Amino acid sequence: MTTLHDAVKAGAEVVKQIESPLLSSLMYPGMQALDEQYLDVDFQFGGVDQRKIFTMAQEYLPKLGYKKRAHLMNTMVPGLAGGKMSSSDPNSKIDFLDSAADVKKKIKVAFCEPTNITENGLLSFHKAVLVPIQVMRRNQLIDRGEDPDAPAHRAALAIAADAPAGTIVSIARAEKWGGPMYYDSYEAMEADFASDKLKPADLKLVTVDMINALLDPIRAAFDGDEEWKQAEAKAYPKDVPAPKQAKKQKEKKPKQTKPEPSADEFIASSKQAATENVDPKANGVAPQPAAAIIANGQQTQ
């Protein structure tokens, strides 16, 4: 039903493209599409790089007698190390269950070049995730008739108490470095980074604080639910290294040594060497000084 052309096209943005593609790369899009049926889901969620696989699913699943699912896509955010975020590289992304220490460690080593706003995973994360969530929370408070700038709400939003009204990002900074910085929009934040007014170290600091504030309730809910823990263990089993087997030691064979020749054997061999011009070593007997030969001869007389 699926042609080679359609299989290659469906995986064009998620499968490595080579001149002679592996069979696994051609099967991948179809298997992901079939996941919708066999996992019995109502919709599939992914980045915009998945759209061709989603299109394949919408076209072919009904032909197989399966229902058509909805598909949700979000903007692709650059990885923390630069380039595309990869599920196979833990340092390129933040996971929901990353500890506060892990988040700080990953952000600390993230690529964040001064004034670079086009290849900056941290800025992109603020634009796509952190700032929209801050705006949404403020609007929810306003819809409920509450003041988002009230002290309690500011603390929940990680906004400094002395920040101007309408602040959505608050960066604590010592006066010797220019003092604290406040932003009421992502655009203002990006402009300051582009002009080098907002430094990478400051951006990393506020990113760690805002991500951990966002993940704290998720971590707490997970830690208090044994069913979630079991599901996570089954979905992502820990790699347990196989026990090392002791190497078999080779049995050392005893060295075979030739017995020492007797005095009579040595004298006979030496005489043969003298009369026949034969090297005494040929029979495994090393020549001895003349005094030793005479002494041996006297002992045998």
Output the pLDDT for position 266: 65
Output the pLDDT for position 293: 47
Confidence of residue 1 (pLDDT cuts 50, 70, 90): confident
* Residue 155 in this model has a pLDDT that exceeds 70: yes
Output the pLDDT for position 174: 87
CATH of domain 90-146+183-235: 1.10.240.10
Phi, psi of 70, deg, nearest 5: -85, 155
* 124's tokens: 């992109």
| Mean pLDDT, range 128-141, rounded to an integer | 94
* Residue 283 in this model has a pLDDT that exceeds 60: no
- The 10s digit of each residue's pLDDT in 169-210 is 999 988 888 899 999 999 999 999 999 999 999 999 999 999
* 221's tokens: 């809910």
Confidence of residue 248 (pLDDT cuts 50, 70, 90): low
Output the pLDDT for position 241: 65
* Residue 88 in this model has a pLDDT that exceeds 70: no
Mean per-residue pLDDT of the chain: 84
* Residue 94 in this model has a pLDDT that exceeds 50: yes
* Residue 229 in this model has a pLDDT that exceeds 50: yes
Output the pLDDT for position 75: 82
* Residue 242 in this model has a pLDDT that exceeds 80: no
Output the pLDDT for position 33: 93
Output the pLDDT for position 291: 47
Distance CA 248, CA 70 (A): 59
Helix pair 51-60, 23-38: axis angle to 10 deg: 60
Output the pLDDT for position 19: 80
CA trace torsion 192, 197, 199, 204 (10° rounding):
-40
| Mean pLDDT, range 96-107, rounded to an integer | 94
- The 10s digit of each residue's pLDDT in 6-63 is 888 888 888 877 788 788 888 999 999 999 999 999 999 988 889 999 999 999 999 9
Output the pLDDT for position 294: 45
Judging by beta carbons within 10 Å of its beta carbon (0-12, 13-18, 19+), is residue 107 exposed, middle or buried?
buried
Nearest to 50 by CA among 5, 89, 81, 87: 87
| Domain residue extents for the chain | 4-74, 90-146+183-235, 263-300
